Structure 1
Amino acid sequence: MPGPASPAVPEVRTEFRVGRDGTGVLGNTDRSALGAHSSVTNVEQHFHPPGRTAVVWPVAVGQIPQLASASQPRAVLREQVDSARSAGGSVVLTQVLSGGGGVGKTQLAAAYAVEALQEERADLVVWATAMDEQQIVTEYARAAVLVEAPGAEGSDPETDARAFLAWLATTERRWLVVLDNIAGPEAVRRWWPPAGGTGSGSGWVLATTRLEDAYFTGGGRTRVRVGVYTPGEAQAYLRERLAAEDAGHLLDERAGDLAEALGYLPLALGHAAALMINEDLSCTGYVELFTDRRARLGDMLPASADTEGYGREIATTLVLALDAARAGDPSGLAGPVLHLVSLLDPAGHPAALWETEPVVGHLARNARREDADADPPGTGERESRRPAPGEVRRALRLLHRYALISHHGEGPRAVRIHALTARAVRETLDDARLGMLATTAADGLLAAWPDPDTGPAHRSLATALRANADALHHHSGDHLWHPDAHVLLFKTCHSLDDGGLYAAAVAHWREMTVRSERVLGPDHPHTLSTCGSLGGAYQQVGRTDEAIHLLEPLHADCERVLGREHPNTLAIRGNLATCYWQAGRISEAVRIEEQLLAIRERVHGPEHPDTLTTLNNLAGSYLMADRTDEAVDLFEQAHTGRERVLGREHPDALTTRGNLAYAYRKAGRNDEAIRIEEQLLPTRERVLGPDHPDTLTTRNNLAHAYRRAGRDEEAVRLFEQVLADSRRVLGPDHPDTASAKETLAAWRKGPDAGGM
């Protein structure tokens, strides 16, 4: 019997970007879409206010977490924070609250934020979750528009975010910026508010993180370590929390023992109090229950697995809360839902996942699995009934109620779970259950993944889906590699390629190659295809020598294992030809691509997408070999074919349209080139986004076409945007930025200066 189909290797497709000297520069890659996908509601990334209105102070930006019931004032901690702040004088003070998970860092910061607004200590409070850089940029951009910071137009988040930082440095307003849950230095390195400024206002920065990193004590920042409750605070919390729910009768002489058993951890105490209230369980009853469970949970959650110092106490509390949630859950969905959530990204996943067929089907088969023995023999009714409309959402809300997850809204990060809660749940899963859950979660993520996922409308959703796929891969061990690599693993890499995130794609493909070689073996078809994709990724970022070194022996291995005309063998051969082109070995590239085109036309037909990719690439090789007329003819064929087969706005069709414009210009048909590129630029901005590498290529090429047409003012104006793009997207020290700066300087000297 034939073996399983191996994932398709994307064949590199060439696109030409005009360099500073007017020569063509290769860009872009053709990626195969793998797996079945269904569309989901578009998720807006940018904040687009309907119109400017006068600012009404005070202003709050971002979602300040709700203060927990009976949250303690933490007097000792607050004295440290307040003393350090007072000592700062007029300097903008940055304080970093650090400590382990569940100790109350965010709650302390939220208390200061709420007080700043309620007691009119600040005109502006900005709350930004800081798990990644984009979250900070989004909130800063919103703030910039709301306060009418100079230069903030609401169209480009990063530009607006930088305008906001400039506003903070000069404003006379009082402000507080909270950067919550910083995952790593890189997320905030560029986005600390200014430590000093020219304005007469006063500013304050509060940050929270789990990291014990010297970076957070540099740059004028002060660390305040946040620990667990004191024994007095822990008992006060229990007393106030229970009293607020008219459950003061549950507080007895064992309250101190309960707090000690839970290690005075605020999060654990929150779970315990909720369970006590819902189950009418006294402190003595809770301690007895806790003690009874300890030995068994010691086997399921050993201390060696507790790398972040929670101990067994929080894991025990978690399981008790889950038992209570199940008891109040007639649908039997709470447990299966929590198991799936525990495998995903703690920072959140889209609510749409819970509407996908793979997830709904899994819940139908596994609801109340733990109580299956209570069903009449042979019926299995509870396990096979599909959840009624709204039942899954009610299960999510139930878990939210018991503080096992956080469920808010319908966005790409709507459902979250504390990382240690997730780990405690995962540790209760046996290997068979883990494998089943991993496959279900992977199938669900694929079903929720839009295709294509490029462009502003899907950018934040694609980012969240990639993060969840990575988390699932990490948490599930090798389960997604058996019996063959799951399509989701490849979808993540292709999504990075399609989004123009080429450096990240290289890292992912490299990790995939190493894992595939270890799990499946070096000659497995999946390993060969993954290695081929890594070679294409190397080529995409200009690491041509590494790509050739990898692809030459790989091509021979594919011919030996898969056959000379296997699709992956052909794709790797095409990628190798493109690498030869980049290395200046044009004649070798032409020879390979001419042979490859003949094979593809015979095997797949003239309008197969792979055939059209090879046609596009051969045209590019002809162009660089100065066979311009032949190149134009092939580009026209590829352009017509791709628009007919893929659609006018498919990224591959847009690539060939851009290549055709470049070929027209090289053939002296500059007016036609301008016409195409003027139409192509807004299309790419809309479909791919203004900062996608393909969009930058079109903007660059159009500027050069204007320059050749003698439209110097337009050329300079557009190339000023090209330089700004390079600085923003690539950074001021990137070679392309330096090249763009030199080109613009030359153009400004006059029409006879600089490359055309």
Structure 2
Amino acid sequence: MPPAGGVLVHAVQGSLAAHHIGQVTYQAAPRHTVSWPHQVGVIPRRAGSFQDRAEVHRLRAAVNGGGTAVVCQVLAGMGGVGKTQLAADHARRAWADGQVDLLVWVTAATRQAVIDAYARAAADILHTDPADPERAAQAFLAWLEPAPGRPRWLIVLDDVADPADLRDLWPPAHPGGRTLVTTRRRDAALATHGRLVPVGLFTPAEATAHLRHALTAQGRSEPEADLAALAEDLGHLPLALSQAAAYLVDTGLSAAAYRTRLADRARQLADLLPEPGELPDDQSAPAAAAWSLSVDRANELRPAGLARPMLQLAAMLDPNGIPEQVLTGHLVLLCIAAQQPLRDDGSPAEEPPKVTEEEATGALRALHRLSLVDHSPSETHQAVRVHQIVQRAVREPLDPDHRDLLARIAAQALMDAWPGTERDTGLASALRANTTALMACAGSALYQPVVHPVLYHLGESLGHSGQVAAAIQHLQQLTDTATHLLGPDDPGTLTSRSNLALWRGRAGDTAGAAEAAVLLLEVQLRVYGPDHPNTLVTRSNLATLQGRAGDASGAAAAFDALLEDQLRVLGPDHPNTLTGRNNHALWLGHAGDAAGAAAALAPLVEDYLRVLGPDHPSTLATRNNLAGWRGNSGDPAGAAAALATLLEDQVRVLGPDHPSTLMTRHNLAHLRGKIGDPAGAADETAALLHDRLRVLGPDHPDTLATRSSLVHFRAEAENPTSAAAAFALLLEDRLRVLGPDHPDTLATRFDLSVWHGLAGDPGRAAKETAAVLEDHIRVLGPDHPGTATVRVALAHWRRLAGEP
């Protein structure tokens, strides 16, 4: 048996009759005998750190399960996933195990390369004339046809670039024959010839093992955690892992140091891989250049010229999934068209040719066919995936101006796809992930010429989804970057500071948020003047913070004064004026005038209906507020009925999982308990908790609030000790998520102290209540209504405990 890669050629004798194949007639060489087994072509060497991965066994099972008819296996996947190595491993095994008598390895990058390889095989076996490779190739294919005494054969067509190259060159059906194809293509034409075997990335374990084996073979050892992290950074792509391991060996860098260089956007990927002449395992191209030919071919497919700009745009976004509407929106269509300077007839285009949504989708399909992206339209929120190394290889050759333009196009495409109401929480999550990915590769492009609105919108979306800490972190980074790039007085910087103060307040840092808002207002008065809309917004935020600090009457007075200026500057129907009226009514109610709040909100709802319409989120929110204050002013039954009607509209407009819909369910359950149905309220709250856990997660402040309500509703039906235990668990989570000074955390500490007292330990209750009172005074102030409530409770528990 010859070694892998060897070629055996034997003499022939005798004669064969003439054969006719299609339009080709040939005279066979004199009859001969060939000693089997026989191999034509050189199988690529086994990679130094070849992994016995899942695809190896899947391919073996596919071939062995092929039955008696020939089965063509098509190994399809993106460049660099190791298709050739898998095919070579399978060929070597089949050869070594004696499963084939004839093995032909064809490097099939072009049609001519296939013809030439077949002609060489024909010359070896049939002694055909090498001067006519077309005729010789057809002779070889004819000889492969089923006939008595034919050998068992395996034909490997490696790296097929275009299915059209194999027209009339596919090996025939043969009971003892097998064909194995490797290709980056996923065209339907390939599937008609055989079974598709997708080849993907290494698993995390396989990728880490690959790095470890490659380094160990060179006497290197690295911490397993560092190797796993590097494998993750390289997206578990076999080609990139192999070349990175070679780079580590050549340079002596540690895996941790290499990761630092890899994360440095100022470094080119090509500079972090071996030189072309130093590539491991006979690889032909660095990872950074491995996909350039595929991009060229995709760009030639219909609709011609669109695949490249589409891939460049996708390279700016989240590799783990891009919603299709982001890549097929109106702005994207215009910008893709602008990159086509000539018409179809080659004449100069005065205006860019129009690109339709259908053509944009066609460009995605072209990229999918070349395995440059995975396009799965059924996965609505992650329809397009691009490997991060492919993205980097596409981005880095672009000139800086082109990259910056792509970043701004991508940012606006995200904004255009972002719904005003985040009814689809999955879509909102995907858009946030894509914005975060865009920020990582856009540099300063999203701050020029102004801060792009998508950066503010990301903070809002994070906050409204319950990720308040993440929203604050993002807005702090946004503020710092804008200050550095644009200056402290730039409108973008001031807007960032405003949003940051807002969410700090919503997170419970009332004092810190108020201090930041006061400083911001001083700058805005100097830069904008007193009547600028942004100045008025900061005054509104300050008034809200004043109320949250316990001065409800002061907040109502501040909103009353602000409302006069909003009416004068903005007019009665401006959304900010309507919001000002809503806030004024809100703090009237918190100041003790529930009836006055309800009376102010009733005409406001009518104005919202007239100005914004019945289905606008602000209209729905104001109806919620009106029902709440009706309940607080002595009409809980009427308020519950109003909320039930509102809930139907919110489900229709916002969807059942929208945070505002869930909030209405929360308020409705509270009112049911208030009107004498605690059992029904508890059941509704339990169902709401299930949905909030599913939609918002266990750490969302709204989820924690529902847990608190459920404990309250169930406490009277349970023993006080069980209620105290439930509040203790809730307190642990609120401390972890919200921090010790958040008002909700203070409220839970107070509830826990109450139930310790009801469980028969007034001394403990008094001690805990005294500590809560101290923090109430420090955080909310001595005049806050909650502080007064805690004072009364402290006196009560001290009296029961016999304390002075």
TM-score (norm 1): 0.59
**What letter is aligned with 2:320?**
A
Count residues in correspondence.
514
1:323 partnered with 2:259: no
Matches within 5 A, 1:121-132: none
Distance in 1 separating the partners of 2:462 and 2:270: 37
Distance in 2 separating the partners of 1:111 and 1:686: 50
Offset at residue 243 of structure 1 (A): 11
Q: Which runs of 5+ in 2 are unaligned?
A: 1-42, 68-81, 94-103, 119-155, 167-265, 724-750, 755-804
Distance in 2 separating the partners of 1:113 and 1:604: 72
Distance in 1 separating the partners of 2:59 and 2:469: 40
Offset at residue 541 of structure 1 (A): 2.8
Offset at residue 302 of structure 1 (A): 4.8
Q: CA RMSD in A?
A: 4.7
Query: Residue 403 of structure 1 aligns with which residue?
Result: 371
Query: Residue 89 of structure 2 aligns with which residue?
Result: 233
**What letter is aligned with 1:233?**
D
Offset at residue 616 of structure 1 (A): 0.9
**What letter is aligned with 1:521?**
G
Alignment partner of 1:614 out of 575, 580, 603:
580
Offset at residue 629 of structure 1 (A): 2.7
Query: Residue 581 of structure 1 aligns with which residue?
Result: 547
Q: Which runs of 5+ in 1 are unaligned?
A: 1-69, 80-103, 120-225, 253-269, 281-298
Query: Residue 529 of structure 1 aligns with which residue?
Result: 495
**What letter is aligned with 1:360?**
L
Which structure: larger Rg? Answer: 2
| Secondary structure class of the residue paired with 2:455 | helix
Query: Residue 222 of structure 1 aligns with which residue?
Result: none
Using a 3 Å threshold, how does the CA distance of structure 1 residues 365 and 77 change in structure 2: closer, same or farther? closer
Distance in 1 separating the partners of 2:92 and 2:268: 29
Alignment partner of 2:323 out of 327, 350, 364:
350
Q: Is the Cα contact below 8 Å between 1:406 and 1:415 reproduced in 2?
A: yes
| Secondary structure class of the residue paired with 1:331 | coil
Distance in 1 separating the partners of 2:689 and 2:427: 29
Using a 3 Å threshold, how does the CA distance of structure 1 residues 554 and 78 change in structure 2: closer, same or farther? same
Distance in 2 separating the partners of 1:629 and 1:551: 31
Query: Residue 471 of structure 1 aligns with which residue?
Result: 437
**What letter is aligned with 1:321?**
S
Distance in 2 separating the partners of 1:114 and 1:594: 76
Using a 3 Å threshold, how does the CA distance of structure 1 residues 250 and 432 change in structure 2: closer, same or farther? farther
Partner deviation per Cα, 1:421-457 (whole Å, 9 max, x = no partner): 01100011001111222222223333333333x22xx
Matches within 5 A, 1:595-614: 595-614=561-580
Offset at residue 556 of structure 1 (A): 1.3
Partner deviation per Cα, 1:154-183 (whole Å, 9 max, x = no partner): xxxxxxxxxxxxxxxxxxxxxxxxxxxxxx
Using a 3 Å threshold, how does the CA distance of structure 1 residues 346 and 304 change in structure 2: closer, same or farther? same
Q: Is the Cα contact below 8 Å between 1:622 and 1:628 reproduced in 2?
A: yes
Distance in 1 separating the partners of 2:373 and 2:575: 44
Query: Residue 530 of structure 2 aligns with which residue?
Result: 564
Query: Residue 616 of structure 2 aligns with which residue?
Result: 650
1:313 partnered with 2:283: no
Distance in 2 separating the partners of 1:426 and 1:359: 17
1:434 partnered with 2:403: yes
Query: Residue 449 of structure 1 aligns with which residue?
Result: 418
Offset at residue 519 of structure 1 (A): 1.6
Query: Residue 645 of structure 2 aligns with which residue?
Result: 679
Offset at residue 483 of structure 1 (A): 0.8
Alignment partner of 2:335 out of 362, 368, 371:
362
> Highest relative contact order (Cα 8 Å, sep 6+), 1 or 2?
1
Alignment partner of 2:355 out of 372, 387, 412:
387
Partner deviation per Cα, 1:29-56 (whole Å, 9 max, x = no partner): xxxxxxxxxxxxxxxxxxxxxxxxxxxx
Alignment partner of 2:660 out of 694, 700, 716:
694
1:417 partnered with 2:390: no
Partner deviation per Cα, 1:548-602 (whole Å, 9 max, x = no partner): 2321211111111111111111111111111111111223312321111111111
Using a 3 Å threshold, how does the CA distance of structure 1 residues 485 and 532 change in structure 2: closer, same or farther? same
Task: Identify the range of structure 1 (312-321 vs 609-618) with the bigger mean alpha-carbon deviation.
Answer: 312-321
Query: Residue 334 of structure 1 aligns with which residue?
Result: 307
Offset at residue 388 of structure 1 (A): 6.2
**What letter is aligned with 2:513?**
A
**What letter is aligned with 2:360?**
V
| Secondary structure class of the residue paired with 1:412 | helix
Alignment partner of 1:731 out of 693, 698, 702:
698
Q: Is the Cα contact below 8 Å between 1:593 and 1:614 reproduced in 2?
A: yes
Offset at residue 614 of structure 1 (A): 0.9
Partner deviation per Cα, 1:525-558 (whole Å, 9 max, x = no partner): 1111111111112222333233223212111111
Using a 3 Å threshold, how does the CA distance of structure 1 residues 560 and 275 change in structure 2: closer, same or farther? same
Using a 3 Å threshold, how does the CA distance of structure 1 residues 581 and 332 change in structure 2: closer, same or farther? same
Q: Is the Cα contact below 8 Å between 1:340 and 1:441 reproduced in 2?
A: yes
Alignment partner of 2:711 out of 721, 736, 742:
742
Q: Is the Cα contact below 8 Å between 2:553 and 2:588 reproduced in 1?
A: no
Distance in 2 separating the partners of 1:693 and 1:240: 59
Distance in 1 separating the partners of 2:407 and 2:157: 27
Task: Identify the range of structure 1 (554-563 vs 580-589) with the bigger mean alpha-carbon deviation.
Answer: 580-589
Distance in 1 separating the partners of 2:413 and 2:390: 22
Offset at residue 248 of structure 1 (A): 4.7
Partner deviation per Cα, 1:609-649 (whole Å, 9 max, x = no partner): 10111111111111111122321222223222222222223
Distance in 2 separating the partners of 1:74 and 1:111: 18
Q: Is the Cα contact below 8 Å between 2:560 and 2:584 reproduced in 1?
A: yes
Partner deviation per Cα, 1:61-111 (whole Å, 9 max, x = no partner): xxxxxxxxx9x99999887xxxxxxxxxxxxxxxxxxxxxxxx78x57987
Distance in 1 separating the partners of 2:432 and 2:425: 11
1:594 partnered with 2:480: no
Distance in 1 separating the partners of 2:87 and 2:566: 74
Using a 3 Å threshold, how does the CA distance of structure 1 residues 521 and 593 change in structure 2: closer, same or farther? same
Distance in 2 separating the partners of 1:563 and 1:271: 73
**What letter is aligned with 2:630?**
Y
Distance in 2 separating the partners of 1:277 and 1:723: 55
Q: Is the Cα contact below 8 Å between 1:412 and 1:461 reproduced in 2?
A: yes
Distance in 1 separating the partners of 2:59 and 2:332: 38
Using a 3 Å threshold, how does the CA distance of structure 1 residues 466 and 733 change in structure 2: closer, same or farther? closer
Distance in 2 separating the partners of 1:328 and 1:745: 65
Using a 3 Å threshold, how does the CA distance of structure 1 residues 302 and 701 change in structure 2: closer, same or farther? closer
Distance in 2 separating the partners of 1:544 and 1:114: 64
**What letter is aligned with 1:322?**
V
Matches within 5 A, 1:12-161: none
Alignment partner of 1:273 out of 140, 152, 159:
159
Query: Residue 287 of structure 1 aligns with which residue?
Result: none
Using a 3 Å threshold, how does the CA distance of structure 1 residues 721 and 300 change in structure 2: closer, same or farther? closer
Q: Is the Cα contact below 8 Å between 2:679 and 2:713 reproduced in 1?
A: no
Q: Is the Cα contact below 8 Å between 1:597 and 1:615 reproduced in 2?
A: yes
Partner deviation per Cα, 1:226-285 (whole Å, 9 max, x = no partner): 999589539869948849999655769xxxxxxxxxxxxxxxxx99924487779xxxxx
| Secondary structure class of the residue paired with 1:273 | strand
Offset at residue 383 of structure 1 (A): 7.6
Distance in 2 separating the partners of 1:567 and 1:118: 72
Query: Residue 90 of structure 1 aligns with which residue?
Result: none
Q: Is the Cα contact below 8 Å between 2:631 and 2:639 reproduced in 1?
A: yes
